[in-house]
C-alpha cells in the first residue's frame, strides 16, 4: 500500500507539470480545474450494503489539447472518500478515509453550442485508480485486502457558461478492487464545478 507522503509528492508533481504544460505546450487549449463531491459504491453488497454509499470530495484538473469540437484530455483527480459506507454524504468527517489518485486520458466533444458562451460537452476517458489508505482504514483490517490499484472507464457530460464549468461523471470500475474477489469493482458518481483557464 502506498504511503500518504507519496500521495502529496504525486499531487505536487502533477501541479508543477500542469503549470508548465499550460505555458509551454504548443497547440494546447487550456486547463479545466474543478472540485466537487464523490459518491462511490462497490458492486458487491458485502462491501457497500444496499442503499448506502461511500461519500467524499475530490479536486482535479483536465489539460485540454487541440481546441475544437473534438479534443484530447489528460488529467488527474484526487479523492478523499470514507471507506465506511453511509446513507448520507459527509464531506470531511470520515470514520476511515481512503485517498484515490486517478490519472486519466481520453477525448472530449463539444456537442451543442447555443451561444459562444454556452456549450454542452461530452467526454470519455480511461483512468488508473490508485488507493492510499489512512491509518484508520488500515486498522479496520479488511479481509480480503484492498488492491493498491484498479482501472476505470469514465463517461461524462459538462456545461460551459463562459469560463465556468459544471460536470457530472460516471466512473465504471473495470478491475476488482479487492484481491481475489470477483466483481468487487468500485463505481463512482461525481458532481463538480470548476473554471477554465
Q: How many CA atoms lie within 13 A of 41 on its CB side?
A: 15
Average pLDDT, the chain: 86
Cell numbers found for residue 70 = 473534438
Task: Give the bridge partners for 31, in sequence order.
Answer: 63
Q: Is the pTM of this model over 0.75?
A: yes
Task: Indicate the fold that domain 4-196 takes in CATH.
Answer: Porin (2.40.160)
Residue spans of the domains in the chain: they are 4-196
Share of the chain above pLDDT 70, in %: 80
Give the per-residue pLDDT at 138.
67
Q: Is the pLDDT of residue 183 over 90?
A: yes
> Span 35-49, mean pLDDT?
94
> Is the CB of residue 107 less than 8 Å from the CB of residue 72?
yes
Task: Identify the pLDDT of residue 3.
Answer: 53
Give 63-108 pLDDT, tens digit per residue.
998 878 899 999 999 999 988 889 888 776 766 788 999 999 999 9
Amino acid at each position: 500500500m502506498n504511503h500518504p507522503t507519496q500521495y502529496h509528492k504525486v499531487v505536487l508533481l502533477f501541479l508543477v507539470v500542469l503549470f508548465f504544460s499550460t505555458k509551454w505546450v504548443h497547440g494546447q487549449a487550456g486547463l479545466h480545474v474543478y472540485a466537487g463531491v464523490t459518491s462511490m459504491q462497490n458492486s458487491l453488497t458485502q462491501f457497500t450494503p444496499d442503499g448506502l454509499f461511500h461519500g467524499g470530495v475530490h479536486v482535479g484538473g483536465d489539460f485540454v489539447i487541440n481546441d475544437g469540437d473534438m479534443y484530447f484530455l489528460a488529467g488527474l483527480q484526487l479523492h478523499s472518500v470514507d471507506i465506511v459506507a453511509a446513507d448520507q454524504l459527509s464531506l470531511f468527517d470520515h470514520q476511515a478515509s481512503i485517498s484515490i489518485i486517478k490519472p486519466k486520458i481520453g477525448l472530449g466533444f463539444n456537442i451543442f453550442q447555443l451561444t459562444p458562451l454556452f456549450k454542452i460537452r461530452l467526454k470519455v476517458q480511461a483512468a488508473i485508480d490508485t488507493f492510499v489508505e489512512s491509518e484508520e482504514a488500515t486498522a479496520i483490517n479488511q479481509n480480503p485486502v484492498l488492491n493498491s490499484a484498479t482501472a476505470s472507464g469514465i463517461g461524462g457530460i459538462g456545461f460551459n457558461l463562459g469560463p465556468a464549468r459544471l460536470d457530472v461523471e460516471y466512473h465504471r470500475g473495470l478491475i476488482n478492487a479487492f484481491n481475489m474477489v470477483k466483481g468487487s469493482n468500485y463505481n463512482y458518481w461525481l458532481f463538480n464545478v470548476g473554471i477554465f483557464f
